[in-house]
């Protein structure tokens, strides 16, 4: 059996016989193990061997194996031997050897060679060739015969006689083209002009508003680009109205006609003066400032005012202002010292401690060593009211009133004297 290199659709056949008597053909076998080796390579197990039984009735024991793994020979080889070893639990092992070879011609095609060793090519890339099929890259011979082209320095001399299948008209070596339509629109025959339906200019639709100053290059539009007096002619015939909100810089004494100056009432309204002239307005303001002190920095005025204030407060007659201020500060400090501990207001009940708060504060006062009044009470209750045990032993124990813990654990001698005490006032 020979298989072309690289093909993975070829099958080989083998016969499965009983592994014991080596003659009874086995049918209905599955789960085969196949090892392969190419050109003396390491025995490698087939990952997914495809084994099929042909016909248990007509060809009992005959199976096919698809050769589809490691079928490409080395680039330096023209042929290599390929060995498969097939095993199954119920059959005797089978070994098959095939040849993998490199094809010299395409499968199914015969190369015809004449006595001189020349090949008669019928097809190229699967396409049947004729005597005139000369391929894509061909040297052309210049000539004027049938199938020839007149060539000069690699340039073909073309004689155009028709356009669109219709004979053309030529004058002085150039074709005269009769254009009937442009962009799908018929050319005007009466005016001999092109009736062009141009939808866009430079890719922008006409009247689309898309042509802006950015469309023109900087400096593209200058006075030199317009005919003399061209812009003057436009302004002389158009209604000249300036857009609202535009600032116009004008020299004094020159300007644009049609603007009205403000009259006196208009000026007063603009600066916020209700009536009369500016002199009258300023006089009214002056009348209201006559009674103001001459200067806040005048110490005599400040002293006079301060003295009057202290006189109203009942300050001692003849006392100086500084002495009066010092006396007031002293009295105010004494009053503050007595009022700091007063609640914010009689209605502020939150400022007055509750009975529970007072009781807590009292019970948490340290009264004996580090023991608070609360802890001392717990220990006293245990020694007087709680359960007691071990009174005749070396360790006496006093429980809390609720009988949940040992409050006092005392080590005692035979006379009941306490030698050591462990307290739990928590």
DSSP assignment letter at 349: G
User: How does pLDDT run across 221-260, given as a tens digit for each residue?
Assistant: 777 777 777 766 666 655 555 555 555 655 555 555 555 6
- Does residue 310 register a pLDDT over 70? no
Pair of tokens at residue 331: 């009295």
Residue 329 pLDDT > 90: no
pLDDT over 90 (residue 399): yes
Least confident of 2-6, 389-393, 405-409: 389-393
Does 309 or 418 have the greater pLDDT score?
418
Q: What band does 73 get if pLDDT is binned at 50, 70 and 90?
A: very high
User: Mean of the pLDDT values across residues 295-318?
Assistant: 59
The confidence band for 408, taking pLDDT boundaries of 50, 70 and 90, is very high
Q: Does the pLDDT at position 15 exceed 90?
A: yes
Q: How far is CA 18 from CA 23, 28, 31, 32, 49, in A?
A: 6, 12, 15, 14, 21
Contacts of 84 (CB under 8 A, 6+ apart): 12, 34, 35, 36, 65, 67, 95, 96, 97, 98
Kindly list the distances between the CA atom of residue 112 and the CA atoms of 102, 103, 135, 151, in Å, as whole numbers in the listed order. 20, 16, 20, 36
Could you tell me whether strands 2-4 and 91-101 are parallel, antiparallel, or unpaired per DSSP bridges? Answer: parallel
Listed by start position, the domains of the chain span 2-101, 365-423
Lowest-confidence region among 22-36, 78-92, 270-284, 352-366: 270-284
pLDDT at 151: 82
Kindly tell me if the per-residue pLDDT of 278 is higher than 70.
no
Of the pLDDT bands very low, low, confident and very high (cuts 50, 70, 90), residue 202 is low
Q: What's the rounded Cα separation, in Å, for the pair 385 and 401?
A: 6
Higher pLDDT, 286 or 71: 71
CA distances (Å), origin 176, targets 162, 179, 188, 201: 11, 9, 18, 28
Topology (CATH level 3) of domain 2-101: Immunoglobulin-like (2.60.40)
111's CB contacts (< 8 A; 6+ apart) are 105, 119
Q: How many residues does the chain have?
A: 426
What tens digit of pLDDT does each residue of 159-191 get?
777 766 677 777 666 777 767 777 777 776 665
| End-to-end Cα spacing for the chain | 102
Angle separating helix axes 355-363 and 373-385, nearest 10 degrees: 70
Q: 302: which residues sit within 8 A by CB, 6+ positions away?
A: 296
pLDDT score recorded for residue 248: 60
For residue 261, the model assigns a pLDDT of 65
Confidence of residue 193 (pLDDT cuts 50, 70, 90): low
Least confident window among 48-52, 161-165, 293-297: 293-297
How many degrees, rounded to 5, is the angle at CA 316 between CA 315 and CA 318?
115
């Amino acid at each position: 059996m020979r298989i072309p290199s690289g093909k993975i659709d070829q099958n080989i056949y083998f016969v499965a016989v009983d592994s014991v008597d080596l003659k009874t053909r086995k049918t209905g076998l599955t789960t085969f193990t196949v090892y392969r080796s190419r050109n003396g390579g390491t025995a490698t197990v087939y990952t997914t061997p495809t084994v099929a039984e042909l016909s248990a009735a007509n060809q009992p024991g005959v199976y096919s194996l698809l050769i589809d793994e490691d079928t490409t020979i080395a680039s330096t080889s023209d042929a290599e031997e390929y060995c498969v070893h097939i095993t199954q639990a119920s059959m005797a092992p089978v070994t098959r050897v095939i040849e993998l070879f490199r094809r010299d011609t395409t499968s199914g095609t015969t190369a015809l060679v004449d006595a001189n060793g020349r090949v008669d090519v019928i097809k190229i890339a699967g396409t049947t060739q004729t005597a005139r099929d000369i391929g894509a890259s061909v040297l052309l011979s210049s000539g004027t015969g049938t199938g020839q082209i007149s060539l000069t320095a690699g340039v073909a001399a073309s004689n155009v006689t028709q356009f669109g299948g219709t004979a053309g008209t030529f004058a002085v070596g150039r074709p005269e083209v009769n254009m009937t339509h442009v962009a799908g629109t018929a050319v005007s025959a009466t005016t001999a002009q092109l009736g062009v339906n141009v939808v866009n200019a430079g890719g922008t639709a006409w009247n689309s508003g898309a042509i802006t100053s950015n469309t023109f290059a900087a400096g593209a539009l200058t006075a030199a680009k317009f005919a003399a007096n061209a812009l003057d002619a436009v302004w002389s015939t158009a209604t000249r109205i300036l857009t609202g909100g535009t600032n116009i810089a004008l020299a004094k004494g020159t300007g644009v006609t049609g603007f009205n100056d403000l009259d006196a009432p208009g000026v007063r309204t603009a600066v916020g003066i209700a009536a009369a002239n500016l002199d009258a307005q300023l006089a009214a303001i002056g009348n209201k400032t006559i009674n103001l002190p001459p200067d806040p920095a005048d110490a005599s005025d400040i002293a006079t005012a301060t003295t009057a204030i202290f006189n109203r407060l009942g300050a001692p007659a003849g006392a100086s202002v500084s002495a009066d201020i010092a006396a007031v500060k002293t009295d105010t400090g004494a009053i503050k010292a007595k009022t700091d501990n007063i609640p914010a207001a009689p209605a502020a009940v939150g400022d007055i401690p509750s009975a529970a708060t007072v009781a807590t504060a009292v019970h948490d006062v340290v009264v004996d060593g580090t023991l608070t009044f609360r802890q001392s009470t717990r220990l006293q209750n245990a020694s007087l009211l709680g359960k007691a045990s071990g009174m005749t032993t070396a360790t006496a124990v006093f429980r809390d009133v609720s009988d949940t813990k040992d409050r006092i654990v005392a080590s005692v001698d035979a006379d009941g004297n306490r030698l050591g005490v462990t307290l739990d006032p928590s």
